[in-house]
Amino acid sequence: MNSYSYAQDVSDILIPSAQAALSYIAANADLKETAKEVSQFRAKEYIMEYIIGSANNKAIKFETESLASDNSAGLISIAFNCDEVDERGLLLAFVGNNRDENGNVGIAYGFKYIPLESAQKLLRTINLVRANNDKYLAAEENVNNVYIESDDIKFILYKDGGDQLRVFWNGFEVIWEKVAFDRTKRRLDKWFK
Residue 77's nearest CA partner among 137, 126, 144 is: 126
Q: In tens digits, what is the pLDDT along the chain, a chain of 193 residues?
A: 333 333 334 444 343 333 345 677 766 667 677 777 888 888 999 999 999 999 999 999 999 999 998 777 689 999 999 999 999 999 999 988 887 778 788 888 899 999 999 999 999 999 999 999 999 999 999 999 999 999 999 999 999 999 999 999 998 999 999 999 999 999 999 999 8
For residue 20, what pLDDT is reported? 42
Residues pairing with 111 in the sheet: 93
Q: CB of 141 within 8 A of CB of 117?
A: no
For residue 98, what pLDDT is reported? 85
Q: CB of 157 within 8 A of CB of 137?
A: yes
Q: CB of 137 within 8 A of CB of 144?
A: yes
Distance (Å, rounded) from C-alpha 69 to C-alpha 169? 17
Centroid of chain to Cα 120? 15
- For the beta sheet containing 172-175, the strands, ordered from the edge strand earlier in sequence to the opposite edge, are 146-150, 153-159, 163-169, 172-175
Q: How many CB atoms lie within 10 A of CB 105?
A: 11
Distance (Å, rounded) from C-alpha 16 to C-alpha 42? 11
Q: CB of 106 within 8 A of CB of 3?
A: yes
Residue type at 104 in one-letter notation: N
